[in-house]
Amino acid sequence: MSKKIFSGVQPTGNLHLGNYLGAIKNFVNLQNNPKNFCIYCVVDLHAITVKQDPFELKKNIRETAAAFIASGLDYKKSIIFNQSLVPAHTEVSWILSCVARMGWLNRMTQFKEKAGKDKEKASVGLYIYPILMAADILLYDATHVPVGEDQKQHLELSRDIANKFNLEFNSTNFFIVPEPLIQKNFARIMSLKDGSKKMSKSDPSELSRINLNDSSDEILNKIKKAKTDNEPLPDNENDLSKRPEAENLLGIYSSLSDQSISKTINEFSGKNFSEFKVMLADLVVNKILPISSEINKILKDEKFIDKVLSDGAEKANEIASKKISNIKKIIGF
C-alpha cells in the first residue's frame, strides 16, 4: 500500500542517537520505498515555544536540514523544508485550536514535563504545541507519521482533532486520520547515564547522549562512561526488564546493526560490559562518524541548504494552500 508520510524534527540543538534511531533512520527507509510520498519538516515554529537565540536558531535550522540529508534523506525523492516558510501551518493551527478541547490538552504529559513545576511561566505556545503538530500532519493528508514513542500521545491528539473536525463540519474523511508509525523495538532510546530517562537534547549532561556530530573520541568516551550494572550480559531477553541500562545499550547495538535484540544477546551473553562496550563504541563510530562528517561537509554550503529548504517549501506550499482553501470553504469563510 502506498503511504503519505509526514514527520518533523525540532531544530533545537544537536540531533542525537535517539532522534536518529527513533525517527530519522525510519524516515530514510520509508523514503526509499518508491510507493511512498514523503514530506520531512524542520519544525522551527515548534522550536520557539521555548526561548531561542535568533542566531542559534538559524544555525540549528540549517544543521537539522544537513543532518536529514547526511542521514540519507534525498531532496529529490522527499519534500524537505522548514515549517515557517509555509504560512498555512500557523493558519490551520489557529483553526484547529478552535476544534481541540482544553481537556484534551490538559492530558498531554510532555507539556507537564517540559513546563515543570512553574506552569504559569510556560509559554502559551508550549501548551498548544500539539495542535500545531496536528496542523502539520493534517494539512498534507498524511496517512502515516513516523515518530519515536514519546510522540505517541501527540499523534493520538491529532487523530482526535481530525475526527472532531470531520464530524462537526459534516465532512466525512476530509481530514485523513493519521496512523503513527512507531518502531516495535528501539522506539525509545534512553539516556546513557540513566536507563529510566529518555535520551534528550535538554538533558544538561552531555554524557547522557551521543550527538550526530560527535567526534570519535567523544563517542568512545561517552560509551566508556555509560552507566551499567555489575552483572555480566544476560543470556535471555526476560532478564532485561530489571536492567534498563543493559537493555538500552543492547538495543542501541541491535538497532545500529539492524538485528534483533535476541541475536545481540546471543552474541554477547555472559560477557562483561567492558568487552561489550568496546564493540558497541566501534559500531557507533562506524555508523555515526560518516554522518557527522557529511553534516560538516554540507554545512559549509549554506546556499545549498537554503535552496533545498526553499524549493521544498515551494512544493509544500502548493499542497498546503489547496488544503487550506478547502478548509476555509468548509468553515464558511
User: Can you give the binding site for ligand TYM, defined by CB under 6 A?
Assistant: 6-10, 18-19, 22-23, 43, 46, 133, 136-137, 145, 147-148, 150-151, 154, 187-189, 198-199
Among residues 4, 198, 277, 287, which one is catalytic? 198
201 is catalytic: yes
CB of 61 to ligand TYM, least distance (A): 12
Cell of 171: 465532512
Q: What is the largest CA-CA distance in the chain?
A: 67
Placement of cell 540513566 in the chain: 194
Closer to ligand TYM by Cβ: residue 5 or 308: 5
CB of 269 to ligand TYM, least distance (A): 25
CA distance 47 to 70: 21
Cell of 152: 505517541
CB of 198 to ligand TYM, least distance (A): 4
114 is catalytic: yes
Closer to ligand TYM by Cβ: residue 197 or 329: 197
Closer to ligand TYM by Cβ: residue 19 or 143: 19
25 is catalytic: no
Among residues 3, 59, 114, 152, which one is catalytic? 114
Closer to ligand TYM by Cβ: residue 94 or 301: 94
Coil, strand, or helix at residue 272? coil
CB of 303 to ligand TYM, least distance (A): 25
Q: Of 152, 184, 137, 143, which is closest to residue 35 (Cα–Cα)? A: 143
Q: Could you tell me where the DSSP H helices lie in the chain?
A: 17-19, 25-31, 44-47, 54-70, 88-97, 102-106, 109-115, 124-139, 152-168, 216-224, 244-256, 261-268, 273-299, 302-331
Catalytic amino acids?
Answer: 114, 198, 201
